[in-house]
Structure 1
Amino acid sequence: MDNAKAMDTPMSTTCYLDKDEQGKSIDVKKYRGMIGSLLYLTASRPDIMFSVCMCARYQANPKESHLSAVKRIMKYLIGTLSVGLWYPKGSTCDLIGYSDSDFAGCKLDRKSTSGTCHLLGNSLVSWYSKKQVSVALSTAEAEYVAAGSCCAQILWMKQQLMDYGLMLDHIPIKCDNTSAINLTKNPVQQLRTKHIEIRHHFIRDHVEKGDVFTAIEPTNGGNVIYGDNNTGKVIGVGKVYELMNE
């Protein structure tokens, strides 16, 4: 990897990993070690979060195709050594959350992946990417579940800030799906949403209490982390450069 060519993105937009049962097996220990190192880096590099978590799903029986995807992430890191998070002095302490999902993104079980990020003022302080535990039957459901995950993290951060004397209410959670936003405000069970598990509806309670509120945010909204949410889906090189320059 010392002389490897740098890549512009951590994962190709045409890359769809699966079990690749016909592929050639590789050293499991080596693969898991590479994944472990990359997971450590995700603590400060949210731009590789989704790609690393995607590759981490195949640690039980990795193939050459999975190793190629991992090496691409490393090549991307080689080309972005100067990229990092910036925490400017004097920014506000307002909380804001963003959520997104890739509906039925996993080709094995058709489950969606939730991606969220949370900003304190203008500074990114928390991010999250995880495959949802159940199959979503619609984009609205997948986005609604992702918004619930975002809400849970926002509420935890709110409690932590109370120790510093910061009392925050009406914290915005931005989502790019109008139907999902309507679900957080309307307790009426609709035909297409009545099957959603009860535990996902806790966000409604906190919207009603005024702890948080949901608002629309277009996917190309211009947020460097959210605008096709690096924690929730793969984006192209053009979009990466556009967001980095903002």
Structure 2
Amino acid sequence: MKLPHGFSNANETRVCRLRKSLYGLKQASRNWYHKFTDALLQLGFVQSKADYSLFTYKREKDFVAALIYVDDVIIVGNSSSMITHTKKRLHDLFTIKDLGRLKYFLGIEVARTEKGLVLSQRKYTLDILKESGLEGCRPSPLPMEQNLKIGPDLEEEKVDASSYRRLIGKLLYLQATRPDITYSVNVLSQFVGDPRQSHMNAVVRVLRYLKMTPGQGILLPKEGGTRLVSYCDADWLGCQFTRRSRTGYLLLLGGAPISWKSKKQSVVSRSSAETEYRAMATTVSEILWVRFLLNELGEKVKGGTTLFCDNQAARHIANNPVFHERTKHVEMDCFFVRERVESKEIEPRYIDSKLQLADLLTKALGASQLKGLLVKLGMRDPHAPT
């Protein structure tokens, strides 16, 4: 913050006293969050412990939820009168602008179809293509070439690091509705410190893939139910340079993907069973958080959450109460997973590698296999001709 015009004097010793948080100051966002939170709490809302930006209101049969991001708010519920009352009270306090039914939120488009809601980022994708000058590029059926060995190459030509980082940053946000590019973007984000020409070529390949399906998104079905199912997978020694494995997990609620991740493991695993078990432990952590969130929303999760893994050894370790030399170095993960298995919160099951949906997040797939997995995930393009 600078002194107002007219007070800039070399011998000036006075300072400004902040009476009100102004937009753009470091303290503004924090003070705004506390003020808006207090307003919702006074209306009878309860702040979620699983997600501090989520607030719920429950009175008898009435249920209303408010999700906030800075000054953007989504309000949903089964009581139109309570929703109207909430918006009126907030308008009296903050002079809000009611945009009606949800259509666009933080770059995510919401399209209503007969089968449910489709979440996509078509406009955001087209803006990326326009900014990078690839609006007229030739589309690609794959985001990354199979068996591509990409890593740091100091002998290769350098590229503009700021442009590379900007593209990677935009693609990272695009993953919110595009699990099909998660693996590719995760691999390419490792080279933002010193990008080379081969890395930029791989990013262009991802953009060419997006050109083929710019409006593809996630279908949230009306009649999908609330059954929670998870898949976990790992690519043993997947990194050609560090030999670290990659964890990938996918959570489905009512048949729709709600959470997924692709991340390189922090240590080198000495066996495929160890790699898969570390991936299983990471997935269990996410499952527990989702179960806790669903309970807060009033949707009691009955029974254990099925966890599909295509490694028999990892599944046996999860159910075997005896420790031995093979599990000594991953004992903490063993205790963590086994405790949840014994409490019936998690049910590990074996699945054939050909049916493993999490393969999408651990390796580059062929065109036919990628398309088949996306169909199983319920990915849709509401803008595509029928």
TM-score (norm 2): 0.61
The 1-side partners of 2:280 and 2:335 are apart by 10
Of 234, 240, 243, which aligns to 2:370? 240
1:26 and 2:159 aligned: yes
1:98 alignment partner, one of 224, 231, 238: 231
Q: CA RMSD in A?
A: 1.4
Deviations 1:58-117 (A, max 9, x none): 111110010111110010000012422111102110111100111111112100110001
* Residue of 82, 88, 95 corresponding to 2:221: 88
SS at match of 1:20: coil
- Aligned CA distance change for structure 1 residues 158 and 227 (closer, same or farther; 3 Å): closer
CA deviation string 1:3-29 (max 9, x = no partner): 211111110112111101211111111
Q: Work out the percentage of aligned pairs sharing the same amino acid.
A: 33
Q: Which of the two has higher C-alpha Rg?
A: 2
Distance in 1 between the 2:150 and 2:335 partners? 31
Partner of 2:187: 54
Q: Residue deviations 1:34-81, cap 9 Å, x none?
A: 100000100110000010010000111110010111110010000012
User: Which residue number corresponds to residue 212 of structure 1?
Assistant: 346
State whether residues 96 and 173 of structure 1, in contact with CA within 8 Å, keep that contact through their aligned partners in structure 2.
yes
Deviation at 1:235, TM superposition (A): 0.8
Q: Does 1:132 align with 2:262?
A: no
Structure number with higher strand proportion = 2
Aligned partner letter, 1:191: E
The structural deviation recorded for 1:197 is 4.9
Contact 1:228/1:235, CA 8 A, preserved across alignment: no
Residues 1:12 and 2:150 are matched in the alignment: no
Do 2:139 and 2:211's aligned partners in 1 also have CA atoms closer than 8 Å? yes
Q: SS of the counterpart of 1:98?
A: strand
Query: Structure 2: which amino acid aligns with 1:242?
Result: G
| Partner of residue 201, structure 2 | 68
* Deviations, residues 204-244 of structure 1 (Å, cap 9, x unaligned): 110011111100111212xxxx4362112111112123334
Distance in 1 between residues matched to 2:248 and 2:207, nearest whole Å: 21
| Paired letter, 1:156 | W
For residues 165-204 of structure 1, the C-alpha deviation after alignment (integer angstroms, 9 at most, x for no partner) is: 2222311111111001111111322333322252454111
Is 1:174 matched up with 2:308?
A: yes
1:120 to 253, 258, 273: 253
C-alpha spacing 1:136/1:65, structure 2 compared with 1 (3 Å):
same
Q: Point out which structure has higher relative CO (alpha carbons under 8 A, 6+ apart).
A: 1
Q: Residue 49 of structure 1 aligns to which amino acid in structure 2? A: T
Within 1, Cα distance between the matches of 2:335 and 2:364? 28
Corresponding letter in the other structure for 1:68: N
Structure 1 unpaired stretches of 5+: none
Which residues of structure 2 form unaligned runs of 5+?
A: 1-133, 377-386
